[in-house]
Amino acid sequence: MTFIRLGLWLLQRERASGEWRVLLLALIIGVGSVSTTGFLGDRIKRAMSEQGASFLGADLMVTSPRPIEDWPVPAVERGAPASRPLATSRALEFASMVSRGDAFQLATLRAVDADYPLRGVVRIADRPFEPGAARPAQPPPGAIYVEPSLLPLLSASVGDSVQIGEASFRIAGLVAEEPGQLGGVFGLAPRVFLRADEVETTRVLQPGSRLTYLYQFAGEPEQLAAFSAALKPALDSTQRLIGSREGVETLRGAFANADRYIQLTALISLLLSVAAIAIAAHHHALRHYDQAALLRCFGTTTAQLRTLYAVQLLTLGLLGSLAGVVIGALTQQALAGLILPGAVTRLPSLGLAPVGVAIASGLLALAGASLPALMRLIRVPPLRVLRRDLPPLPVAAWLSAALSGSALLLLIAWYAGDAKLVGGFVGALIGLVGVLILLARLALVAGRGVQRMSHGPLRFGLAQLLRHRFDSTLQLGAFTLALFLVALLALVRSDLIAGWQQQLPPQAPNYFLVNIAPHQQQAVAAYLSEHRLEASALYPMVRGRLVSKDGVPIAETLPEDARDTNTLRRELNLTWTATLPANNVVLAGRWHGERSADAPVKGTPVGAPPPSSDPSAAPVKGTPAGTPLPSSDPSAAPVKGTPAGTPLPSSDPSAEISVESGMAERLNLAVGDQLGFQIGDQTLAARITSIRSVKWDSMQPNFFVIFAPGQLDTLPASSIASVYVPPDATGVLPGFVKTFPGITVLALDKLIANIEAVFAQIIGAIQLLLGFLLAAGMAVVVATLLASLDARQQEAVLLRTLGAQRAYLAKGLWSEFIALGLLAGLLASACAEIAMALIANRLFELPLRLHPWLWLVLPLGGALLVGMSGWLTTRHITRVPPMQSIRALN
Amino acid sequence: MTPPDSTQFPAESTSALQSHGVVFARALSQRVTTADGELAILSEVELAVKAGETLAITGASGSGKSTLLGLLAGLDQPSAGEIMLLGQRLGDLDEDARARLRAGRIGFVFQSFQLLPALSALENILLPLELAGRADARERAVYWLDRVGLAARAAHTPRQLSGGEQQRVALARAFATDPEIVFADEPTGNLDADTGARIIELLFELNASARTTLILVTHDEALAARCQRRLHLVAGQMREAALA
């Protein structure tokens, strides 16, 4: 008989005895929570990228100035017959004049097919500022849909006909909402949707016309990944591939934090189950020393013993992992259906990747956690059959540490996939284990004092705790670890949520007034104050393109692969102010406002008091978060087209600018560099004097480049203001549009609602993940308790034989467990506060704060949790008659 | 280890025992280091056991009986001296080679029975047979369970058996592989006098019919008296008593 068969046979026989149950249970809980996290995380990520897709209108979009005929091999129409081909839609975007009578207006026309948009919705309304109904973006033949702002410019209303080129179209509806609307914030020409098959009739397209072909794709993530990988090399520098995640940059911070949080939760559930498995494996090995010794007596070699136990572990690992995966899939199905459906339009199908990951990590965790125990088990001296007290030969500590350590590191690295996270985690865990052992010892010493003062079962329970100092330290450490990690993630969760909610204050500006001409400022202010609407600060804005660095064309200062960046491709919104905007932090250099504070400040508020003296408007000053979004201006050509010999800027060389840190990093910019900008037909140079970090998801004014006042003043600038319009006051807006036809009014309610939906989704998911983490924590507690069961039972039998009453023993056990839980809760509170202080800032960029309630909740929760599970695990030992127990123990 | 000095042993016995003997020990010492210094558990033990012979190792608690048994069976290594087991010099073998030597050729009976709690009576007997790779493992296990009178208890686990029954299963397990030597460590130590007597009967009956070499450790005079030879240990030193 091979030892593989023997191992399986023994495993099968022991299944009935329940020896393996603890280990298997720990494994199932571990893998179950990991796969739930994995499935859920995978789904959430995909749901979020769908949310992003609905902003973009597709999962992937390719823009090109020329039609693309040859698509790469996993081709769109030639998709493998087995799988559904990618859904596609084509649109053509160009600028053209729209006229009605004597009125002319430049508009951005998008000629769409019947499938546009592939993701998200287009809402068409009959009157301005109405929510409208979801409809295909393709109008009926002979009709167009227009952005409401076009109506006053042409003195038209819905139902009227307008002229585009040689064709006449009826305005069939108003575009109330469209995917990628945010991208159009500063596209000054209003949007018009027309049918792709009617472009010909307008005859506006001439050779040389500036066109943008938009190719949209939607499908399964794997398909899309393969497609975009094949597509990328085929695109030239004028063509762009946009993923759904780029659909809305405002949410980037929230996406990143949620991603990180999900990773962290998966990692911690996994580590907790590793702890549970390690405890169970150690216990299992302890109970199998005799078996191993006997097998050695019968002539089994080390290698055979290794095969035997490895086969058993592998079998258990596979069984536990599979069961865990099934449980994970079922649970997440139930829970995702419960929590996510309202937030997502279409729940993505279950990914297969998490199954593989969960099984592999279950096996890896089992190997890492049980190797030291297994190594001791196969090194049991055969003489143990004669002398029961003989311990197994010690395994070189470094060897087992190296084996387990590298397995765990592999797991952590696999999950985190981020060097910073892995490093932080490993360091923190090593430190934590050391601190926990020390604290647990100290706490037990302190417990001695309490024990002396107590009496009855309490005294007995505490004495038990102190007598088994090693076991108590282990249990206390394990409970503390479980409570600490659960508390930590709960804290990060509530801080994350609070952080997000702060970003969306209830009175965040929901409308933006774009393109306010200098001479209109007073009138706009008067109009708003007449209607009791409060506008934010007014930011002057000039559009310009970054062209050079220290006199060299900027593209040439960058490596080939870094040139393809949005920052260079499009015009930037340049502003000037002496006041550092809220949520901006100077990382390097010195804010120019600090030197020129006494200089006259442009961009003063419209009618409203200056931002600094307006506390109510403080968090929502200025322009929307949309500033860094790609402009949809179809005329924006890539910067590569700029001539190499850009004329050197002729303006004041002492001009100062502040640059956003991400842009500085992408373009390799540093304080002291001189940048050249092309603004209209003028060039302008300025020196970087500071680099700022910007909170993009703050819904506050955000600019890549801020000039010191005095540099751009002479250039033609329009301004931007934001205003909060309460839901009952939207009736004011049609009047405003009529009064100021040149000013674009943008409604951002939809965007804010979408952002809130994404946050709600993430928050719901995070609460779920926390529940599973709790289960993993429970596994540690239960595994630890079960491991101590034999010794407890032995003692209980002895004590009952010596005359201890059942109630006395029960109270003693309760006291012991409650004391353990209380202590663990206190230690966990301390650890959690410290860890929060360390990671909140670094990992999640959250403000530091203390959590006094933690010190109450954790010890009480710990006492309850450990007390209950302790009692449930051990209650039978006080009930079984001593004689029966003695026989069982023999 | 120094090479064996044949002058310490009668030339006749060395060669004869090496050719016919199954267990052969010379100048065997076992020392352990304790907090109080080095402690000699066995000193200079000389021993030769012929095939088919029965030997009782007796002595007070702590006299080194079990240690000697463990050394002779190759379960441990001596601090000094030399052991030949089934024609192999144990000092030349590593732990795994000693294990291979034991497989199927040596049986064990223990004071605490050492049955695997998860296995039934039959399966406990089956285990060493399976380990030895015997094709007729199951038939033999059934046969031996019947030999010890427990055919009706085949499916019972050790927990469902009395002490005497457990030791009978252990006896069946020890003899089932047709071993050349059976080592028994206090086989009646955990049993009452009556049960112990019945186990002794069974042990010697099985031993006689299988013509196995039996080396047992005991402080049970009745048991020691049944053996052909007796080795008495006093504080780790050998006092060979009268042959039976």
Query: Which tens digits make up the pLDDT trace of A28-62?
Result: 877 887 777 677 666 666 666 666 666 677 778 88
Instruction: Give the mean pLDDT of chain A.
Output: 74
Residue B183's domain is classified under what CATH number?
A: 3.40.50.300
| Percent of all residues in chain A with a pLDDT value above 70, rounded to a whole number | 72
What average pLDDT does the segment B198-203 reach? 91
- In the prediction, which pLDDT does A607 show? 36
ipTM attached to this prediction: 0.86
Which residues of A are less than 8 Å from B170 in CB distance?
A: none
For residue A284, the number of C-alpha atoms closer than 13 Å in the C-beta half-sphere is 33
Give A138 or A837, the one with higher predicted confidence. Answer: A138
- In the prediction, which pLDDT does B122 show? 94
- In the prediction, which pLDDT does B173 show? 93
Does B127 sit within 8 Å of A298, measured CB to CB? yes
CB contacts < 8 A, A to B, total: 81
- Token look-up 């406990």 returns B124
- In the prediction, which pLDDT does B182 show? 94
Q: What angle do CA A286, A291, A296 make, to 5 degrees?
A: 120
Which residues of A are less than 8 Å from B162 in CB distance?
A: none
What average pLDDT does the segment B219-237 reach? 88
Helices (H) and strands (E) in chain A, counts: 21, 22
Estimate to the nearest angstrom the gap between the alpha carbon of A521 and the chain centroid: 40
- In the prediction, which pLDDT does A343 show? 41
Range among A93-102, A419-428, A561-570, A875-884 rated most confident: A93-102
pLDDT at A662 over 60: yes
Give A167 or B238, the one with higher predicted confidence. Answer: A167
Closest residue in chain B to residue A388, using alpha carbons only: B112
Note whether residue B133 is domain-resident. yes
Of the listed ranges A183-197, A396-410, A640-654, the least confidently predicted one is: A640-654
Query: Which tens digits make up the pLDDT trace of B128-142?
Result: 888 888 889 899 999
Q: Per the structure block, which two tokens stand in for A335?
A: 């829970």
Chain B stretch 73-102, residues whose beta carbon is closer than 8 A to a beta carbon of chain A: 73, 75-76, 95-96, 99-102
Closest residue in chain A to residue B95, using alpha carbons only: A301
Close Cβ partners of A449 (under 8 Å, ≥ 6 residues apart) = none
Give me the helices (H) in chain B, please: 11-20, 65-72, 95-102, 121-131, 137-147, 163-176, 193-210, 221-225
Give A443 or A135, the one with higher predicted confidence. Answer: A135
- Residue B12, class by beta-carbon neighbours within 10 Å (0-12 exposed, 13-18 middle, 19+ buried)? exposed
Query: Which tens digits make up the pLDDT trace of A596-647?
Result: 444 333 333 333 333 333 333 333 333 333 333 333 333 333 333 333 333 4
- In the prediction, which pLDDT does A366 show? 81
pLDDT at A356 over 70: yes
Does A386 sit within 8 Å of B75, measured CB to CB? yes
What average pLDDT does the segment A213-230 reach? 82
Helices (H) and strands (E) in chain B, counts: 8, 10
Which residues of A are less than 8 Å from B130 in CB distance?
A: 1, 6, 9
What average pLDDT does the segment A699-726 reach? 78
Interface probe, candidates B75, B120, B175, chain A, greatest A C-beta count within 10 A: B75
Note whether residue B218 is domain-resident. yes
Does B159 sit within 8 Å of A888, measured CB to CB? yes
Pairwise CA distance, residues A804 & A286, whole Å: 29
Close Cβ partners of A269 (under 8 Å, ≥ 6 residues apart) = A30, A33, A34, A37, A769, A772, A773, A776
Alpha carbon distances (Å) from A847 to A155, A496, A759, B213:
51, 10, 19, 80
> Does B125 touch chain A if contact means CB atoms closer than 8 Å?
no
Q: DSSP labels for A180-204?
A: TGGGGTT--SPEEEEEGGGHHHH--
Q: Which residues of B18-48 are buried (b: 16+ CB within 10 A; e: fewer)?
A: eeebbbbbbbbbbeeeeeeeeeebbbebbbb
Interface probe, candidates B30, B94, B108, chain A, greatest A C-beta count within 10 A: B108
What average pLDDT does the segment A774-793 reach? 76
- In the prediction, which pLDDT does A80 show? 46
- In the prediction, which pLDDT does A562 show? 67
Does A296 sit within 8 Å of B108, measured CB to CB? no
Note whether residue B151 is domain-resident. yes
Does A383 sit within 8 Å of B76, measured CB to CB? yes
Does B102 sit within 8 Å of A298, measured CB to CB? yes
3-state secondary structure A665-701: HHCCCCCCCEEEEEECCEEEEEEEEEEEEECHHHCCC
Among the partner-chain residues A16, A291, A299, the one whose CB lies closest to the CB of B104 is A299
Range of the domain at B185: 51-80+94-240
Give A781 or A164, the one with higher predicted confidence. Answer: A164
Q: Per the structure block, which two tokens stand in for A588?
A: 């390097």
Does A888 sit within 8 Å of B118, measured CB to CB? no
Give A565 or A10, the one with higher predicted confidence. Answer: A10
In the DSSP assignment, the letter for residue A535 is B
Cβ atoms of A250 and A751 closer than 8 Å: yes
- In the prediction, which pLDDT does A144 show? 94
Please state whether the peptide bond connecting residue A847 to the residue before it is cis, i.e. omega within 30 degrees of 0. Answer: no
Does B128 sit within 8 Å of A298, measured CB to CB? yes
Does B95 sit within 8 Å of A299, measured CB to CB? no
Among the partner-chain residues B99, B102, B118, the one whose CB lies closest to the CB of A17 is B118
Query: Which tens digits make up the pLDDT trace of A829-859?
Result: 888 888 777 766 665 566 667 788 889 999 9
Query: Which tens digits make up the pLDDT trace of A241-271?
Result: 777 655 445 555 666 666 667 667 767 777 7
Give chain B's domain count: 1
Does B69 sit within 8 Å of A381, measured CB to CB? no
Q: Residue A9 corresponds to which amino acid?
A: W
Among the partner-chain residues A385, A887, A888, the one whose CB lies closest to the CB of B108 is A385
Query: Which tens digits make up the pLDDT trace of B94-128?
Result: 888 998 888 889 999 988 888 988 889 999 999 88
Query: Which tens digits make up the pLDDT trace of A66-113?
Result: 888 877 755 444 444 445 678 888 889 887 888 888 887 778 889 999
Taking the CA of residue B10 and the nearest CA in chain A, the distance in Å comes to 31
Q: Which pTM value belongs to this model?
A: 0.65
pLDDT tier for residue A649 given thresholds of 50, 70 and 90: very low
Q: What are residue A123's DSSP bridge partners?
A: A134, A177
- In the prediction, which pLDDT does A413 show? 73
Does A301 sit within 8 Å of B96, measured CB to CB? yes
Note whether residue B31 is domain-resident. no
Note whether residue B64 is domain-resident. yes
What average pLDDT does the segment B157-182 reach? 92
pLDDT at A803 over 80: no
Query: Which tens digits make up the pLDDT trace of B78-88?
Result: 999 999 999 89
Closest residue in chain A to residue B72, using alpha carbons only: A383
pLDDT tier for residue B145 given thresholds of 50, 70 and 90: very high
Taking the CA of residue A299 and the nearest CA in chain B, the distance in Å comes to 4
Of the listed ranges A431-440, A444-453, B10-19, B206-215, the least confidently predicted one is: B10-19
Count of other CB atoms within 10 angstroms of residue A225: 14
- In the prediction, which pLDDT does B191 show? 86
pLDDT at B48 over 70: yes
Which residues of A are less than 8 Å from B106 in CB distance?
A: 299
Note whether residue B142 is domain-resident. yes
Helix axes A806-844, A789-801, angle to 10 degrees: 160
Query: Which tens digits make up the pLDDT trace of A272-310?
Result: 777 777 877 877 788 788 889 999 888 888 888 889 888
What average pLDDT does the segment A147-163 reach? 86
Close Cβ partners of A401 (under 8 Å, ≥ 6 residues apart) = A372
Which residues of A are less than 8 Å from B105 in CB distance?
A: 299
Phi, psi of A638 (to 5 degrees): -65, 150
Which residues of A are less than 8 Å from B140 in CB distance?
A: none
Pairwise CA distance, residues B66 & B108, whole Å: 13
pLDDT tier for residue B49 given thresholds of 50, 70 and 90: very high
Does B101 sit within 8 Å of A385, measured CB to CB? no
Query: Which tens digits make up the pLDDT trace of A512-570?
Result: 787 788 888 888 888 888 888 877 667 788 878 888 888 888 888 887 766 666 667 67
Note whether residue B128 is domain-resident. yes
Helix axes A469-503, A252-297, angle to 10 degrees: 160
